[in-house]
Amino acid sequence: MNILQTSNLKKYYGKGETMVKALDGVNLCVEQGKFVSVVGTSGSGKSTLLHMLGGLDRPTAGTVEVDGRDISKLKDEELTIFRRRKIGFVFQSYNLIPVLNVYENIVLPVELDGRQTDKTYVEDIIDVLGLGQKKYNLPSQLSGGQQQRVAIARALAAKPAILLADEPTGNLDSVTSQDVLSLLKVSSDRFKQTVVMITHNEEIAQLADRMIRIEDGRIKSDGVIKEGERHA
Amino acid sequence: MRKVKNRKVIRVLADKSFRNSQTRNMIAVLAIALTTILFTTLFTIGLGTIESFQYATMRQSGGDSHGVIKNVTREQYEKLSMHPLVKESAPNMLVADTIKNPEFLKRHVEAWYYPDYHYEHCFIKVIDGEVPKQPNEILMDEVSMGLLGLEAKAGQEVTLQMQIKQSSEKITERTFLVSGVIQADPAMNVGFAIVSDAYLETYADELVYTYDQDYSATGAIRMDVNFANSIGIQEKLDQVVTECGYSTDETQKNYIASNANWAYVSDSADGDPTAMAAMTAGLLLIFFTGYLIIYNVFQISVIKDIRYYGLLKTVGTTGRQIKSILRRQALILSVMGIPAGILVGFFTGKWLVPYILENSIYESGAKVSFHPLIVAGAAVFTILTVFISIGKPSRIAAKVSPVEAVRYTDQAKNKKEGFQKKSVRGGRISRMALSNLTRSKGRTAVVILSLSLAVILLNSVFTITNAFDMDTYLKKFVSSDFLIGNARYFGLDYYWGRSGSIDEENLSESFISACEAQDGFEDGGRIYGTGEIALDAATYQEPKHVQRDEDGNVYQMVFGEKMPLNVDKRGAYAGQSFCYGLEDFAFNKVEVWKGETDMEVIREKLASGKYLLGIVGTDDNDKPIEETVMHLPGDRVTLVLEDGTKREFEILSLVKENYYGLTRRMGDTFVYYTTADIFLEMASQKYLMSYAFNVQDDKKDAFMDFVEQYTSTQEPLMNYESKQTYLKEFSQMTGTFILIGGVLTLVIGLIGILNFTNTILTGMVSRKKEFAMMEAIGMTKRQLTRMLILEGLYYAGITIAVSLVLGSLFSSTVVRALAGGMWFMKYHFVLWPMLTVLPILLLLGVLIPYLVYLPQKKQDLVYCLTDN
């Protein structure tokens, strides 16, 4: 079953001479529970794709269906609510709320939705991501890797349909990057979480089940990565 | 240190980054302007009050000349005016001792000669017609014209009944042509008739100098003198007199009196510690208010631009240069804000000064000119405030290291390594909003303090106004609804109660009858009083605290010298004694302090003719002053009557002095009260001083119109005072206080709101990315708005709490002490003024974040997320 599907997705910026076709007819399907990486150089359109998939921006043409729903048709307010229920984000710059502690940051999307926190589930996530000791610390007291793990936990806590990660290791050194990524991979497997990760680093992209290469707003290649091909 | 030519580049840097922060500039300019308004208003009020006092003093002293040399002859004048120190002089002369026209009995007219070049110095302003030239031409003031029943127009004839010299009772009737009408001076209850040079020549024979024989001012020159400047006037006058060959020693034959214009002698404000304290407190308050906002604006702006300063550091800008960049920006902002503030402030001050003066004796003629000192003072104080305020922010900017700058965030610094925030509910919007306030505790505190200041001030203003106790105020001045008497009794002429003058100063029975016949009259009583009944000196037995000098005379201390009390040829303390006789209505107003207290007993015993009531003086708070007691209850006193017969009494009780109700409004040493009947046994019924009466409540206004009408048409020599007059005065006083306090509170409140708006606004701008991120993970705009509004409400809530605590504290200490110092104030602790503004605070707390967020709502999410 496809949890995520785009058809002829286009995003153009500007007009006439200066028009930039950030996305130019992207057709993409992602199956439930898969870990997909999207690679491309800067300016290839991969970030725009992620913004479209996450409902942060609206396409010029085409549709984005998440969990069977065309999100390009939703109103702003509906879209925000849809986002907090169906999509989890992990950003390059962590983006934790400085005044909330680790636990509060993790449950924030659930709280915003007014739902009851699934405590055992959240504890589980915290355990898997090794944040048990830091539960009550403020973000400013954590290292970069720890902050990104909190961001992953936050993305998972709402049990979203897809987890979108935008260069999750962009600000981390290579050892920490590996560490964070394997945790992402582990939790994806453990919680059967669909993950779409954007990166410009092919080595990191190799960790996924499937790697999509994007260039000039179009999909250049799309292939399943077999266990043996992985470097890690 | 090497001088480097880097001024220009610093200027470029300063101006470039200046243009980059439009919002900050706008708020900073507003803040500076508001601060300047406060300073300017304060200085305008201060200087305006001094100026008005000085101007009023000058007008009362008759002009703005530096000094006057008195009663000189023509020859002496010629000699004195040639002295090199004398820049300008005028030979003014009184041409008649008194103008006897009955129309001028209530408001005297003085006939003077002034040379026309000197008019300006005497504030003589011709409003119609021209300067007199012929001997029969005069200038007359508009009010005197009115009293004669004439229009204030030149070209009319007036006849003056002139008593030329006081030594001769002869009245000369002379008809003049009014060549010009001059402006009447409301500061003086005196009119003027001013004659020409030709008049002096024509009547030279009646204007001869006789001062050395009969002390007649008519014919003697009052020489007005102006020097190069107003420093050391008396010394200069003395120098002129002595160097011209005359003496300044009163006992010498060639003595010439002179004195400096007191308008120059006493600068009303510098001797007045209360005014100085109020001024200083005002300056400090304004400085603090200004500091709170200007500091906050710059602190926020520096932290926002900290990376920019780090970058400047990286490329080699020194800390000192960064400081001068900020100083330059502050200077530009000041240059923009200060002029506007001075303008608004000056006019606010100018508008307020008359209200302040309204309650002083200098009621009319507020004079506020645009003094350079106001501009300079306000500008200097504002710039000082600005530079002190940017001190800390610019130190932060100057000290930041390039590496730190990148990571420098505006976090509270108390989050130590092991700190844990043990809550799990922080994800709630309300909790998040509260946490957001603690991000920068300093800034939150500044905003809350800034807002609280206005609230506390408002509460204090109203607490003080509320403390103005009408009853206490009225009690001092008013004992009955109306009090009528001769105009002299109420005026500066006083009621003397002596046989020589009584016919001109007593109350007429006809006025009393007219009042008693008027609709609404309830009850009243006469108050008789005479100074002719005096204490017999030989038999006086003084209480212990009253002292006698070496010669055994009772004395009073006058200017540090022992002045024995005068004893007249009857052997009585005439001039120090006064005896009053009260009819029942007035009798009921006495308040017994010591001795027999039962009013019935007192009445009976007084009626026997063997007893008297003595008095004790009271202070502003109606507390008896024991040292003023001249007799104790039980003492025997002997009074000497007008014809010299003696009568013995016993002092029954002492009553509190009722200055405005039951005395002639002058303090006498020996004061006695008895009933009207006993009084009339001893003295004539012409010694009728006043009549107090009450009127039905609903008829008071009509009655007021009646007496006003009666005293101006029927018996112009009579006058009155009513409760209403004092009520009006009272409400004027409280009104003024509310007005000034209100303006101050309003501006300080505006500053508080501006500070709040700025903090919310900049807080939102710097959290733009955070908001976008929260939206990305699912916080709806509605939730975000709610959070921001909650933040605003927390600000309001904490402000309320702080205001309540600090306000109560301030009220019960400083305000209480202040109110306690004023006799007509009764301190009550009140919070309602504060409580009434609390809803406004809450409303602001909701509205400001909402309005500030509105334009940001539209911003593109992805743009905010990726914008660094």
**ipTM associated with this complex:** 0.78
pLDDT at B414: 46
Instruction: State how far residue A167 is from chain B, nearest Cα, in angstroms.
Output: 13
**Res. B36: pLDDT tops 80:** yes
Contact A64, A70 (CB under 8 A): yes
Contact B407, B413 (CB under 8 A): no
Q: Residue A77 and residue B780: Cβ atoms within 8 Å?
A: yes
**Res. B513: pLDDT tops 90:** yes
Alpha helices in B767-780 (DSSP H): 768-776
To the nearest 10°, report the CA torsion of B411, B414, B420, B426. Answer: -40
Q: Who among A105, A112, A141 is closest to B778 (CB)?
A: A112
Q: Residue B778 and residue A154: Cβ atoms within 8 Å?
A: no
**Res. B819: pLDDT tops 70:** yes
Q: Residue B428 and residue A136: Cβ atoms within 8 Å?
A: no
Instruction: State how far residue A181 is from chain B, nearest Cα, in angstroms.
Output: 21
**Res. B517: pLDDT tops 50:** yes
pLDDT at B335: 92
Q: Which candidate, B154, B152, B150, B148, places its Cα nearest to that of B105?
A: B148
Instruction: Report the residue of chain A nearest B780, measured CA to CA.
Output: A80
Q: Which candidate, B246, B297, B369, places its Cα nearest to that of B33?
A: B297
State whether residue A64 is helix, strand or coil: strand
Tokens of A232: 């890690």
pLDDT at B361: 47
**Res. B412: pLDDT tops 60:** no
pLDDT at B181: 92
Q: Residue B415 and residue A56: Cβ atoms within 8 Å?
A: no
pLDDT at A232: 44
pLDDT digits (tens, 9 = 90+) for B450-477: 889 889 988 888 888 888 888 888 888 8
Report how far residue B448's alpha carbon sits from residue B458's, in angstroms, rounded to the nearest whole number.
15
**Res. B66: pLDDT tops 90:** no
Residues of B in contact with A80 (CB under 8 A): 775, 778-781
Tokens of B27: 């708020």
Task: Judge whether A94 is closer than 8 Å to chain B, CB to CB.
Answer: no
Instruction: Report the residue of chain B nearest A91, measured CA to CA.
Output: B773
pLDDT at B466: 83
Q: Residue B778 and residue A99: Cβ atoms within 8 Å?
A: no
Average of pLDDT values for B778-803? Answer: 90
Average of pLDDT values for B379-403? Answer: 87
Distances (CA, A) of B13 to B18, B325, B326, B337, B403: 8, 7, 10, 22, 21
**Res. A33: pLDDT tops 80:** yes
Report how far residue B57's alpha carbon sits from residue B265's, in angstroms, rounded to the nearest whole number.
10
Average of pLDDT values for A3-29? Answer: 88
Contact A217, A209 (CB under 8 A): no
Report how far residue A100's alpha carbon sits from residue B421's, in angstroms, rounded to the nearest whole number.
8
Q: Residue A107 and residue B419: Cβ atoms within 8 Å?
A: no
Global pTM reads 0.71
Top-confidence residue, B603 or A229: B603
pLDDT digits (tens, 9 = 90+) for B159-189: 999 988 877 788 889 999 999 999 877 656 6
Domains of chain A: which residue ranges? 2-227
Tokens of B301: 């702006």
Average of pLDDT values for B308-314? Answer: 79
Task: Judge whether A54 is closer than 8 Å to chain B, CB to CB.
Answer: yes
Q: Who among A99, A108, A140 is closest to B436 (CB)?
A: A99
Tokens of B80: 């004195």
Query: What angle is formed at CA B427 by the lines to CA B788 and CA B792, rounded to 5 degrees?
Result: 20
Q: Which residue has the tokens 């700025």?
A: B758
Q: Who among A83, A101, A105 is closest to B776 (CB)?
A: A83
Contact B154, B181 (CB under 8 A): yes
Q: Residue B608: which pLDDT band, with cuts at 50, 70 and 90? A: very high
Termini Cα distance of chain A = 28
Instruction: State how far residue A209 is from chain B, nearest Cα, in angstroms.
Output: 25
Q: Residue B427 and residue A111: Cβ atoms within 8 Å?
A: yes
**Res. B868: pLDDT tops 60:** no
Q: Residue B865 and residue A77: Cβ atoms within 8 Å?
A: no
pLDDT digits (tens, 9 = 90+) for B639-664: 999 888 999 999 999 999 888 888 88
What share of chain A has pLDDT > 70, as a percent?
Answer: 97
pLDDT at A210: 92
Distances (CA, A) of A75 to A47, A72, B96, B332: 22, 8, 98, 47
Q: Residue B140: which pLDDT band, with cuts at 50, 70 and 90? A: very high
pLDDT at B366: 61
Q: Residue B432 and residue A100: Cβ atoms within 8 Å?
A: yes
Q: Residue B777 and residue A154: Cβ atoms within 8 Å?
A: yes
Enter the CATH code of domain A2-227.
3.40.50.300
pLDDT at B3: 58
Q: Residue B427 and residue A112: Cβ atoms within 8 Å?
A: yes
Q: At residue A39, what are phi and psi to the nearest 5 degrees?
A: -115, 155
* Mean pLDDT of all residues belonging to chain B: 84
Average of pLDDT values for B737-751? Answer: 85
pLDDT at B265: 62
Interface A-B: count of C-beta contacts within 8 A: 103
Instruction: List the beta bridge partners of residue B618.
Output: B624
pLDDT at B743: 85
| Mutation choice for A interface testing from B769, B777, B786 by most A CBs within 10 A | B777
pLDDT digits (tens, 9 = 90+) for B326-350: 888 899 999 999 999 998 888 888 8
Q: Residue A107 and residue B432: Cβ atoms within 8 Å?
A: no
Contact B114, B194 (CB under 8 A): yes
pLDDT digits (tens, 9 = 90+) for B750-763: 888 888 888 888 88
| Mutation choice for B interface testing from A47, A102, A104, A126 by most B CBs within 10 A | A104
Contact B651, B670 (CB under 8 A): no
Top-confidence residue, B505 or B867: B505
Among A74-78, B102-106, B601-605, the range of highest mean pLDDT: B601-605
**Res. B26: pLDDT tops 80:** yes
Report how far residue B393's alpha carbon sits from residue B860's, in angstroms, rounded to the nearest whole number.
32
Tokens of B566: 């005068």
Average of pLDDT values for B49-67? Answer: 75
Residues of B in contact with A138 (CB under 8 A): 415, 419, 421
**Res. B732: pLDDT tops 60:** yes
| Mutation choice for B interface testing from A111, A123, A164 by most B CBs within 10 A | A111
State whether residue B31 is helix, strand or coil: helix
**Res. B268: pLDDT tops 50:** no
pLDDT at B169: 80
Average of pLDDT values for B534-545? Answer: 88
pLDDT at B623: 84
Instruction: State how far residue A232 is from chain B, nearest Cα, in angstroms.
Output: 31
Instruction: Report the residue of chain A nearest B431, measured CA to CA.
Output: A100
Q: At residue B153, what are phi and psi to the nearest 5 degrees?
A: -130, 145
Instruction: State how far residue B867 is from chain A, nearest Cα, in angstroms.
Output: 12
**Res. B269: pLDDT tops 50:** no
Average of pLDDT values for A33-47? Answer: 88
What angle separates helix B470-477 from helix B723-766, to the nearest 10 degrees?
150
Output DSSP code: residue B536: B
Instruction: State how far residue B303 is from chain A, nearest Cα, in angstroms.
Output: 17
Top-confidence residue, B265 or B206: B206
